[in-house]
């Protein structure tokens, strides 16, 4: 057993943890960062993501940034309490600890985002508005050139140059407190070396719990067995940061029973084998029946609720059925990231046999759908309003008959990109307790922070990690002792 002294100890080496470590080190702190993975695999999910950022320019967030977060920032809560939380920054012990996305925290998120992008540019990160996997979209998407891996590389190099100590194959297990209840460090386990104790203010940046089967079943429910992390990095996220803070009385925030859903091909083992082509065909379950509107809006805005409907089906599985005309959509391959080929058939019956669904049911489903189509041609790159008539469930856009062979199909399940449940923080990224008071010495960043309910505000998760990691690290490094 060893005891090591630092000013700031960061649990997690994704963009949230690295941002915290760099910001603290830039402020003059001696910093340790813990990473469950090896050096070669460091970065958690951050190294796998394309890292979309909901910004309309380098120095402006999207027009709906704060509104969308606020509208999807709570469940069913007394509206008087929501208003009080929004208008009274100090509030009461009741409103400060409410399980909702604090409006003041959302304001700080939006305010600090442009400065965080500039901070990263100063380290050598580059950004641009590059093509995305969405053939239709309603919001701008800024991307770092090189994706999340580039952000991990830039931040890690900066941390190393500042003398941050990296502890690889090391997992935080429990928070350490003094007699006054202040967090003074944490206990961790290093592979092959046993327990070690690292003292200092703590920043929890270890992600959600999508890699923890027990927590997934407890919070999401037994059907979570049909979910899987969107990439291999997600298996490292086992919820220790959230659990150890809740164990000492931290306030919970975010929708613990939900997660960010993305449609993926279950046959593929690559990172994020997404299938976003479904608006141009029909979705059927394992019984060959349609169950949802495949195209209620642009794919970037609706893929999550559609994917949740897929998760509700038997074995959490559906198929998208397309005819040959989808291959004439300009750049259609952008909407298909899986490395597995489609199932194909010269007839619907042949296709059904390969899909493992009843041929008669699939043929009847397609016949009903085709009969409900107007015959108007689609405009595939814009919302065209070409809809079905007299069909339930309807299809609101791109509703054209499926009749041109060969027919294609891809299986789809819901991936779990990250879980929504986490800890509540204030505008300085300090974790608050059940009375809404900051827990001295304890901070959180990234998906450890609970902010989302119901419908994810797209392209904000990586940005949340960067922004609140930077805030947490800077505050932890400069706050007076005991505060």
Alpha-carbon span 42 to 103, nearest angstrom = 33
CB atoms within 10 A of CB 246: 17
CB atoms within 10 A of CB 333: 11
Alpha-carbon span 58 to 295, nearest angstrom = 31
Residues in the chain: 483
- List all residues 6 or more positions away from 94 whose beta carbon is below 8 Å from its beta carbon: 81, 436
pTM of the model: 0.95
pLDDT per residue of the chain (483 residues) written in tens, 0 to 9? 568 999 999 999 999 999 999 999 999 999 999 999 999 999 999 999 989 999 999 999 999 999 999 999 998 888 887 777 777 666 777 778 888 999 999 999 999 999 999 999 999 999 999 878 888 877 778 999 999 999 999 999 999 999 999 999 999 999 999 999 999 999 999 999 989 999 999 999 999 999 999 999 999 999 999 999 999 999 999 999 999 999 999 999 999 999 999 999 999 999 999 999 999 999 999 999 999 999 999 999 999 999 999 999 999 999 999 999 999 999 999 999 999 999 999 999 999 999 999 999 999 999 999 999 999 999 999 999 999 999 999 999 999 999 999 999 999 999 999 999 999 999 999 999 999 999 999 999 999 999 999 899 999 999 999 999 999 999 999 987 666
**What DSSP state is assigned to residue 341?**
P
Instruction: Tell me if 261 sits within 8 A of 409, measured CB to CB.
Output: no
The partner residues of 127 in beta bridges, in order of sequence, read 144
Instruction: Tell me if 207 sits within 8 A of 237, measured CB to CB.
Output: yes
Alpha-carbon span 358 to 352, nearest angstrom = 6
The partner residues of 433 in beta bridges, in order of sequence, read 250
Q: Note the pLDDT of residue 23.
A: 98
- CA dist 105 → 118, 422, 469 (Å): 20, 15, 13
Alpha-carbon span 475 to 483, nearest angstrom = 11
Alpha-carbon span 37 to 49, nearest angstrom = 17
CB atoms within 10 A of CB 101: 25
20: buried, middle or exposed (CB in 10 Å: 19+, 13-18, 0-12)?
buried
Alpha-carbon span 78 to 80, nearest angstrom = 5
Counts for the chain of helices (H) and strands (E), in that order:
12, 20
Alpha-carbon span 100 to 252, nearest angstrom = 9
Collapsed DSSP state (helix, strand, coil) of residue 118 = helix
| Residue whose tokens read 């827990």 | 439
User: Domains of the chain, with CATH numbers?
Assistant: 2-258+420-478 (3.50.50.60), 262-415 (3.90.700.10)
Q: What is the largest CA-CA distance in the chain?
A: 74
**What DSSP state is assigned to residue 220?**
T
Query: Closest Cα partner for 155 from 231, 238, 232, 44?
Result: 44
Contacts 24+ apart (CB under 8 A), 226-229: 226/311, 226/315, 226/316, 226/317, 226/413, 226/414, 227/259, 227/311, 227/316, 227/413, 227/414, 227/415, 227/416, 228/264, 228/266, 228/413, 228/415, 228/416, 229/45, 229/415, 229/416, 229/417
């Amino acid at each position: 057993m060893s005891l090591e002294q630092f000013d700031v100890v960061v649990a997690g080496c994704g963009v949230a943890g690295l941002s915290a470590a760099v910001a603290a080190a830039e402020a003059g702190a001696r910093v340790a960062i813990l990473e469950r993975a090896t050096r070669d695999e460091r970065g958690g999910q951050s190294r796998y993501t394309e890292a979309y950022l909901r910004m309309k320019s380098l120095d402006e967030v999207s027009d709906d940034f704060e509104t969308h977060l606020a509208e999807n920032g709570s469940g069913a809560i007394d509206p008087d309490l929501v208003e009080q939380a929004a208008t009274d920054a100090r509030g009461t012990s009741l409103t400060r600890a409410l399980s909702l996305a604090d409006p003041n925290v959302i304001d700080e998120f939006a305010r600090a985002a442009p400065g965080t992008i500039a901070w990263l540019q100063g380290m050598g990160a580059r950004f641009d508005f590059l093509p995305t996997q969405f053939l239709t979209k309603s919001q701008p998407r800024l991307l770092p050139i090189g994706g999340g891996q580039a952000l991990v590389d830039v931040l890690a190099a900066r941390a190393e140059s500042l003398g941050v100590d990296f502890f690889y194959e090391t997992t935080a297990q429990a928070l350490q407190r003094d007699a006054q209840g202040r967090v003074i460090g944490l206990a961790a386990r290093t592979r092959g070396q046993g327990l070690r104790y690292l003292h200092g203010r703590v920043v929890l940046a270890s992600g959600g719990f999508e890699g923890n089967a027990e927590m997934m079943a407890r919070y999401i429910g037994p059907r979570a067995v049909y979910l899987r992390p969107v990439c291999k990095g997600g298996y490292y996220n086992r919820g220790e940061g959230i659990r150890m803070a809740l164990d000492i009385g931290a306030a919970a925030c975010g929708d613990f029973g939900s997660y960010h859903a993305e449609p993926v091909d279950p046959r593929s083992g690559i990172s994020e084998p997404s299938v976003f082509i479904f608006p141009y065909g029909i979705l059927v379950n394992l019984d060959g029946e349609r169950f949802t509107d495949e195209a209620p809006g642009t794919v970037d805005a609706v893929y999550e609720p559609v994917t949740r409907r897929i998760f509700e089906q038997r074995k959490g599985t559906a198929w998208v059925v397309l005819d040959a005309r989808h291959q004439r959509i300009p750049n259609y391959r952008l909407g298909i990231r899986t490395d597995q080929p489609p199932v194909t058939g010269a007839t619907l019956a042949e296709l059904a046999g390969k899909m493992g669904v009843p041929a008669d049911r699939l043929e009847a489903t397609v016949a009903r759908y085709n009969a409900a189509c107007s015959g108007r041609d689609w405009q595939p790159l814009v919302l065209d309003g070409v809809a079905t008539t007299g069909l339930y469930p309807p299809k609101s856009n791109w509703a054209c008959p499926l009749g041109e062979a060969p027919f294609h199909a891809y299986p789809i399940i819901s991936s779990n990109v990250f879980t929504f449940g986490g800890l509540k923080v204030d505008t300085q990224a300090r974790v608050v307790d059940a009375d809404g008071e900051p827990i001295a010495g304890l901070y959180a960043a990234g998906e450890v922070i609970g902010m989302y309910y119901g419908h994810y505000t797209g392209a904000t998760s990586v940005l949340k990690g960067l922004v609140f990691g930077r805030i947490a690290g800077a505050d932890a490094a400069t706050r007076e002792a005991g505060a």
